[in-house]
Structure 1
Amino acid sequence: MAQEAKELEARIEELREERSKFQEKVEGHLKEARTAAADELIEKAEQELQSELMNRLNAAVSNGNEELATKLLDGLKSYYSGKIKPGAKTDSSEPPSVSPAIAAKKSTSKPQEPKPQPPSQRPTAEKKAPPPPPSSSKPSGKIIERRTMLNDSLNEICRYEYSDGQLTKMIFLDSEGNPLRTHQMVYDKDGNLEKEIHVDQAGRTLQVLERETSKSGKIVKEIIKNADDELLNSVEFDYDNQGRLNKKEWFDAKAKRTKVWEYEYEKSNKDPLRIIWRDERNKPYGQVELKYDEKGNITKEISKDRTGDVIRSINYHYFYG
């Protein structure tokens, strides 16, 4: 028994040495792989991350998941503010230890405490001022820019482009003026908006929104597909006897209803006073109260949960050309 114990102990020691050598070899290979990593691979990972975030954000907005949409929007803000900036270069000769796509995932491990630096060596991040609104040499009275304020801070900028009086493009920028995505409008021969193509800053299609209209030109259905022409969800529109939007119902790819928006009006007013959210079982989920300017454009959205507590407040500022 004593001899067997010694042999077992010796074997364990051999295995430990083998494991140590193997670990050193693996670390060596990883270091070589990181050093040899090509910029295009890193860029591809960043593009995949950006596309995935945008797809998830669009799906969350379409499905009325306010909480998830807000979190994803915050993630995109971080992405474009420089925390995970596409194609970012470093002055260090050392290559990145992980791909940006992996680094973007929320870590469950405890972060290391940064070493304190003297005041003179501490980096100071200067946030760029928002770009000025565009000017128009031929005023038309149309909206040329909308600025979205979330919690009193500039959250997003949307610029409008027109051709022959029709809206052709909506360009979305972050608070510093960096491009996020673009919505391209496609019209039928009668001038009805037939399709919206949503693309990212690199021109890649994120999703396509197709519209069906009635003879009077009202939207009766929207069909949302991904870049591969696969159905994501659809939205059906219902109107009251005054021609005002009465209800919107969302359905998933399997035609199962996922949520409902009901619009409430004040007497004969054409602009809705509030929107009531209902879940797939038609139970109240929350509401959005709306305020308008003299031109009928929404200036404020106050979202409340089913108990009446405010979830968030969004303000819109418009610039006209």
Structure 2
Amino acid sequence: MPTHTMRAIRLHEHGGPEVLRQDEVPVPEPGPGEVLVRVHAVGVNPPDWYLRDGMSDLPPETRPSFALPVTPGTDLSGVVEAVAPDVDGFSVGDEVFGLLRFPSFDGSTYAEYVAAPASDLALKPAGIDHVHAAGAPMAGLTAWQFLIELGHDHPSPFQAAKHHPVPLGDGVKVLVNGAAGGVGHFAVQLAKWKGAHVIAVASGAHEAFLRDLGADEFIDYTKGRPEELVRDVDLVLDAVGGPHSSRFLRTLKRGGSQFPVFFGQFDEEETAKLGVTVTGTQVRSNGAQLAELGRLLDAGTVRVAIDSTFALADARAAHERAARGHIQGKIVLTVAQ
């Protein structure tokens, strides 16, 4: 069993990477429906720096409430240390991975131990290590819930209508913008797994990487504008988003759809005139879906690319790496055992 205290990275104030501080805090106790996980690795995701800077980039109505000090983090891979009496399906010693309590910001995975809802976890694929497993949950489930199966009925804070994935298969043309990043590189692989023709958009440095993941076509956005080069796409998954996301509408055929992972600015009259749909969702924790993704990871059908790793104590350096952009795959924190 663990000692009574542990190391955790916490925020006592909002700001840049420099506000990430290592503290000594009590080891949590698992409550009903939870297991205690000894953390081996932690995936670094955009919500971690949203939390760090005080959610300044999110619309006020979508900002969850939280109090300082707070431990960031949602993704983990580790080993079960204790199990609440009402939990079935996990035992002490099991290797697990998961996206915890999202879309709340109560995951608290930047730590040596975490009390995790059992429903948010899946058994770690035996064929991959903890670092690669920790890189999968949020990015992989985002791509899964956008492209394969939503898997929940919770309304999105970004739209009134329920999101419906587009059926993928032979003859379906999918463009992925931001294809080299966390969500993007999963989207490329899942679309290929379903038989789609995939066009990957990223900077030229990522071309070999993305073709190796199965991209059929590659566009270097530093040399050409996708909206001027591509037509008759069935689906655009834009993992970059922002105010310029609407330019991809021009690549779609009538009846096509654009899925902005980070909602951009769209004109309803323009989309109606083009005969296209813009729809998105908010990823949610889902252990059952993660288990399905885990089977693909175990088989090597889908893989996690690791951009870089940092020790837990070097979380500041990990956030500084994220801020520099042009990430290939995932940034992961490792926790010494």
Q: TM-score, normalised on structure 2? A: 0.25
The higher-RCO structure (CA 8 Å, 6+ apart) is 2
